[in-house]
């Protein structure tokens, strides 16, 4: 089965051709980072207009790289939410137009579900065994999901305020070190001492269960910087590297700790990472190291499938089609800003 998948939930315009849910024939991603950098974050109106400008070119590029034509695809898959509604409208409209004109099935895919399926993309590697815990962590979402089987999920923990990736972006904007904050802080942290500054690990206490909170940590970093001499004092060198490393270690400790706690609580021997923050080097290393001591297998998608991409949407769509309960999405499929799995 050849699926043309489209992803436009935020600031990446992506199209992919996925064969039988695992083999990625093409995965084209057009990033908008350069357009949003000067604002220190994503401007929704700019994002949606840029999607509209290049969506057709991206789709054609995906077809060309896969060396197929539109007539050869078996279905069209698209992210319908959650995400920026203006951005989602572009992708959903393109997908519906293609499905209608080609008389092919339309498959709506939840963006969060797509991230989970990034762990099932490459048939050359072992895929997670059910049930498993998925730590889904990105700029807009931070949650723990118990994945019981294909299409069967239970969210067992979520952030009560800022997502982890959102905290990275806000700290980077406060320190005036650039956007997106995740990769920049991760790079600086490699040169610093993660134990230089002891920030409080938010909501690590037993009473908070598996939920997260990162807004307090953001405030803690801001207050520490202001009391220590202001942004200029941490503008470069060892002090900035130590600050970034200490902040990152705090985030990683919470994410890894809660993931291992969830695995123990739900008797799972597998943890999968998903979402843009799963590309973070410290998170990948520490989760693997801590899980190995507890005989827990860790699955992490290749870097190209960590951030938003259409290949993961194509993979999720294939497994939806394979389900006995599958129903083709209506051409009335509407984008939604908030959607659970």
* Calpha distance 118→108 (Å, rounded): 16
Q: How large is the average pLDDT for residues 309-320?
A: 97
Q: What is the pLDDT of residue 183?
A: 97
For residue 174, pLDDT beyond 80 = yes
pLDDT digits 0-9 by tens, 7-46 = 999 999 999 999 999 999 999 999 999 999 999 899 999 9
Q: How large is the average pLDDT for residues 117-128?
A: 84
In order, the DSSP letters of 221-271 are: HHHHHHHHT-GGGGSSHHHHHHHHHHHHHHHHHHHHHHHHHHHHHTT-SEE
Q: Which CA distances in Å does 84 have to 10, 14, 41, 280, 306?
A: 6, 15, 13, 24, 19
Backbone dihedral region for residue 309 (phi beyond 0: left; psi -120 to 50: alpha; all else: beta):
beta
Task: Count how many residues are written for the chain.
Answer: 341
| 10 CB-contact burial (10 Å; exposed 0-12 / middle 13-18 / buried 19+) | buried
Q: What is the pLDDT of residue 123?
A: 59
Q: What is the pLDDT of residue 247?
A: 98
Q: What is the pLDDT of residue 211?
A: 97
Q: How large is the average pLDDT for residues 263-276?
A: 97
Question: What is the value of pTM for the model shown?
Answer: 0.95
Q: How large is the average pLDDT for residues 210-224?
A: 97
- Convert 162-195 to b/e letters by CB count within 10 Å (16 or more is b): bbbbbbbbbbbebbebebbbbbbbbebbeebebe
For residue 307, pLDDT beyond 80 = yes
* Calpha distance 261→266 (Å, rounded): 9
Q: How large is the average pLDDT for residues 107-126?
A: 90
What is residue 322's three-state secondary structure? coil
Q: 324 versus 58: which is more confidently predicted?
A: 58
Q: What is the pLDDT of residue 340?
A: 86
Q: What is the pLDDT of residue 157?
A: 97
Q: What order of strands is seen across the sheet that includes strand 12-19? A: 23-31, 12-19, 2-7, 75-81, 106-110
- Tell me the average pLDDT of the chain: 96
Q: Tell me, what DSSP letter sits at residue 129?
A: P
Q: What is the pLDDT of residue 112?
A: 97
H-helix or E-strand spanning residue 126 = none
Q: What is the pLDDT of residue 236?
A: 84
Q: What is the pLDDT of residue 124?
A: 64
Would you place residue 322 in the very low, low, confident or very high pLDDT band (cuts 50, 70, 90)?
confident
Whether residue 229 contacts residue 279, with contact meaning beta carbons closer than 8 Å, is answered with no
- Convert 24-63 to b/e letters by CB count within 10 Å (16 or more is b): bbbbbbbebeeebeeebbbbeeebbebbbebbeebbeebb
Instruction: Name beta bridge partners: 134.
Output: 145, 272
For residue 325, pLDDT beyond 80 = no
Lowest mean pLDDT among 120-129, 173-182, 243-252, 269-278: 120-129
For residue 125, pLDDT beyond 70 = no
Would you place residue 268 in the very low, low, confident or very high pLDDT band (cuts 50, 70, 90)?
very high
pLDDT digits 0-9 by tens, 43-64 = 999 999 999 999 999 999 999 9
Whether residue 166 contacts residue 139, with contact meaning beta carbons closer than 8 Å, is answered with yes
Would you place residue 206 in the very low, low, confident or very high pLDDT band (cuts 50, 70, 90)?
confident
For residue 204, pLDDT beyond 90 = no
pLDDT digits 0-9 by tens, 221-254 = 999 999 999 999 998 899 999 999 999 999 999 9
Q: Which tokens sit at 53?
A: 């400008």
């Amino acid at each position: 089965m050849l699926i043309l998948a489209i992803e436009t939930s935020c600031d990446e315009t992506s199209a992919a051709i996925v064969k039988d849910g695992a083999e990625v024939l093409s995965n084209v991603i057009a990033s908008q980072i350069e357009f949003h950098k000067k604002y220190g974050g994503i401007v929704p109106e700019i994002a949606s207009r840029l999607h509209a400008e290049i969506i057709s070119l991206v789709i054609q590029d995906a077809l060309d790289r896969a060396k197929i034509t539109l007539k050869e695809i078996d279905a069209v898959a698209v992210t319908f939410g959650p995400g920026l509604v203006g951005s989602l409208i572009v992708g959903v409209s393109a997908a519906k137009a293609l499905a209608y004109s080609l008389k092919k099935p339309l498959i709506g895919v939840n963006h969060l579900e797509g991230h989970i399926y990034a762990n099932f993309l490459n048939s050359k590697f072992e895929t997670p065994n059910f049930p498993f815990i998925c730590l889904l962590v990105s700029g807009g979402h931070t949650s723990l999901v118990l994945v019981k089987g294909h299409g069967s999920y239970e969210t067992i923990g979520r952030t009560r305020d800022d997502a982890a990736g959102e905290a990275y972006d806000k700290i980077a904007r406060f320190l005036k070190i650039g956007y997106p904050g995740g990769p920049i802080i991760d790079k600086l942290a490699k040169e610093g001492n993660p134990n230089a500054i002891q920030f409080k690990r938010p909501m690590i206490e037993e009473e908070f269960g598996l939920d997260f909170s990162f807004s307090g940590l953001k405030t803690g970093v801001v207050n520490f910087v202001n009391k220590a001499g202001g942004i200029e004092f941490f503008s470069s060198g060892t002090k900035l590297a130590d600050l970034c490393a200490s902040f990152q270690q705090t985030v990683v400790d919470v994410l890894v700790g809660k993931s291992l706690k969830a695995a123990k609580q739900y008797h799972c021997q597998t943890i999968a990472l998903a979402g843009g923050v799963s590309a973070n080097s410290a998170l990948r290393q520490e989760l693997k190291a801590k899980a190995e001591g507890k005989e827990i297998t860790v699955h992490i998608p290749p870097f190209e499938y960590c951030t938003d991409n259409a290949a993961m949407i194509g993979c999720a769509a294939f497994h939806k089609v394979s389900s006995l309960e599958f129903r083709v999405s209506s051409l009335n499929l509407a984008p939604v800003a908030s959607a659970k799995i």
